Amino acid sequence: MAERKFTDIAHDFLGSAHVFASAVEDVIERRLLAEAAGKHLTLSQFRLLKLVAMTDAHTISDVGLFLGVSNAAASKAVDKLVRRKLLRRKEGRPDRREIRLSLTEASKRLLDAYEQKKRRKLAEVFQGFAGDELRRTADLLDRISAGLVDHHSHEREVCLQCGIYFRNECLVRKLLNRECFYLRNRIQRLRSHQTTANEAAGK
């Protein structure tokens, strides 16, 4: 009976977490994005811009790895933003086959407008909550997220995309002391590129 009651509480908690995540996506992402960019930018395109802005994912391969899509799908998504002058592409160095991505002035202005609206909205929503209360809740959510990842996901499939929105650290690395698949694959690719560059330079 005690185990069933605990399971019911956990189930209710996950239900509340799902409602919270849905509210964040609808209010903080979709509605504020519509205010900042109108109907001219989809949520997936916005996330791609945030990915380039807030992480070191600056190649087509990085975009594909981070978002969990093929390089072809990543390239197609990038092409649309390049045509709209929201992303810039140029050949990488030393490997000219690697396309480097960067924001344009237009996309920087768009992201700045979104961030200003987001700060105002968060100030309105959370003004009735104490900072310590929010920090304890955030820590609890992090521990539960890490527990779910640790017990129910193969490590090569784990990437919570921590760096796109509100934080600059990897939750998997912080609480589970291991790299998510994106960081691990990126490090391996960088080492491979460095080896190729050294061989080409005759080192």
Instruction: Residue count of the chain, please give it.
Output: 203
Asked if residue 26 lies in contact with residue 43, where contact means CB atoms within 8 angstroms, the answer is no
CB atoms within 10 A of CB 185: 17
Q: At residue 5, does pLDDT exceed 70?
A: yes
User: Which pLDDT tens digit goes with each residue over 98-153?
Assistant: 678 899 999 999 999 999 999 999 999 999 899 999 999 988 888 887 777 766 55
So where are the chain's domains?
Answer: 24-128, 130-203
Q: Determine the topology of domain 24-128 in CATH.
A: Arc Repressor Mutant, subunit A (1.10.10)
* Comparison of pLDDT for 185 and 90, the residue scoring more: 90
In the structure encoding, which two tokens stand for residue 172, read together? 């998997």
User: Which pLDDT tens digit goes with each residue over 152-166?
Assistant: 555 555 555 555 554
Average pLDDT score, the chain: 78
* Comparison of pLDDT for 96 and 80, the residue scoring more: 80
- The per-residue DSSP string of 1-14 comes to -HHHHHHHHHHHHH
Confidence of residue 51 (pLDDT cuts 50, 70, 90): confident
Asked if residue 104 lies in contact with residue 87, where contact means CB atoms within 8 angstroms, the answer is yes
Q: What is the mean pLDDT of residues 79-83?
A: 94
* Comparison of pLDDT for 135 and 178, the residue scoring more: 135
Confidence of residue 35 (pLDDT cuts 50, 70, 90): very high
Amino acid at residue number 94: P
